[in-house]
Amino acid sequence: MPARRKARKRALDVLYEADQRDRPPVEVLAGYIERIERPRPEHLGYTVSLVEGVAAHLDRIDELIASYAEGWTLNRMPVVDRNLARIAVYELLYVDGVDDPVAISEAVELARQMSTDDSPRFLNGLLDRISEYATR
């Protein structure tokens, strides 16, 4: 598995836990980092930047997801889908080194592995609409 995909998966784990426990993502991240044995994996830096970035821009990210998720509220979305969308929207809007199609396809691939059968199609459509908005 490529390093950035591993980082996204770890960021998803942290954001999922924060969501489920109703804790700040950065607080959960700190506990996660403490549990990682040395030597630290090479993808840890990107995991940290994803979680911190999502946390720093969470209100704007959630606003966009809610606006473009046709027929879905954030609370109705599966937790995995909601947090994959958050990571991808963060990458779409705030990470220059990741092309939009890559951010979208990575979220869709993780959804295939970790969520419902309908999740890949849902996330692809949602993120495509947000990507179109972001490039205007």
Torsion, CA 9, CA 124, CA 122, CA 50, rounded to 10: 30
Q: Tell me: the pLDDT tens digits for 61-82?
A: 999 999 999 889 999 999 999 9
N-terminal to C-terminal alpha carbon distance within the chain: 33
* The pTM of the whole model exceeds 0.75: yes
Q: What is the rounded distance in angstroms from the CA atom of residue 33 to the CA atom of residue 85? A: 23
In single-letter form, the type of residue at position 27 comes to: E
User: Which domains occur in the chain, in start order?
Assistant: 3-134 (1.10.940.10)
According to DSSP, residue 24 is labeled: -
What is the pLDDT at residue 135?
A: 81
What is the pLDDT at residue 85?
A: 98
